[in-house]
Amino acid sequence: MKKVIAILLTVVAVSFIAVNSLAKNEAYNGTLIVYGYGVISTDPNLAIIRLSVVTQDISCENAVRMNAEITSKVIESVKDLGNVTTEYYSVHPIYKNNTIYAYRVVNSLKIECSPKVVGKVVDKAVLAGANRIDSISFTLSDELKKELYLKALQLAVEDAEKKTKVVAEFLGLKDVKPSMIEVKYSTPVPIVYKAETPIIPREVEVSASVKITYSFT
């Protein structure tokens, strides 16, 4: 009789452990989802200056000619300091009392240069005739973005692994393995300044995040 009772108690105990383990897995659905984040901060290595030459004259031909002459001088003054491209060009009439009284020409340039020479570029361009500074932004070159993103991604994975370890140890999860990984990329947002020399840029951040789904027993 005692043996029968002991066997019954053992069966009940084993059944309870199995049911309890099954209940845990069902409650967690056998998966653990963890998010990891990584951020790298660094000084920008690329400045983008947008400036314009604006001319106006009662004669359209004169407005265009003056703009071309001044723009050529501006390009010549800064071409050794960075890469210069035309970003926008327009010629349009100006009306007063429903009558054209002048023509305005706008030639907008984009200058990519080192952050160290931004003040010099702005000064030279203005002295050469640029009469509108649209914006100055600081960012990272494509090559540096890729390099820093990989470092940020590594930090994100390490962050996810640390969180997973803490959760697994606390809940007593066993054989925790990644079953699905989603990688997300965050593009650095350029820091934009309205131009006033001197210009002192702040750091740019490159971030990465991952979503890792772990399976466990």
Q: Count the neighbouring beta carbons within 10 Å of the beta carbon of residue 71.
A: 22
**Rg of the chain (C-alpha set):** 32
CATH architecture of 29-43+142-215: 2-Layer Sandwich (3.30)
pLDDT for 17 equals 35
pLDDT for 3 equals 40
Q: Kindly report whether the peptide bond that precedes residue 198 is cis, defined as omega within 30 degrees of 0.
A: yes
Q: How far is 133 from 100, CA to CA, in rounded Å?
A: 27
pLDDT for 187 equals 66
Q: What share of the chain is helix, strand, coil (3-state, %, to 5)?
A: 40, 40, 20
What is the chain's pLDDT, residue by residue, as a tens digit (217 residues)?
434 333 333 333 333 333 344 344 445 568 889 999 999 999 999 999 999 999 999 999 999 999 999 999 999 999 999 999 999 999 999 999 999 999 999 999 999 999 999 999 999 999 999 999 999 999 999 999 999 999 999 999 999 999 999 999 998 888 888 888 898 867 666 666 554 455 667 788 888 898 888 888 7
> What is the CATH topology of the domain spanning 46-139?
Alpha-Beta Plaits (3.30.70)
Q: How far is 174 from 24, CA to CA, in rounded Å?
A: 12
Angle at 125 between CA 67 and CA 89, to 5 degrees: 35
Can you give the residue ranges of every domain in the chain?
Answer: 29-43+142-215, 46-139
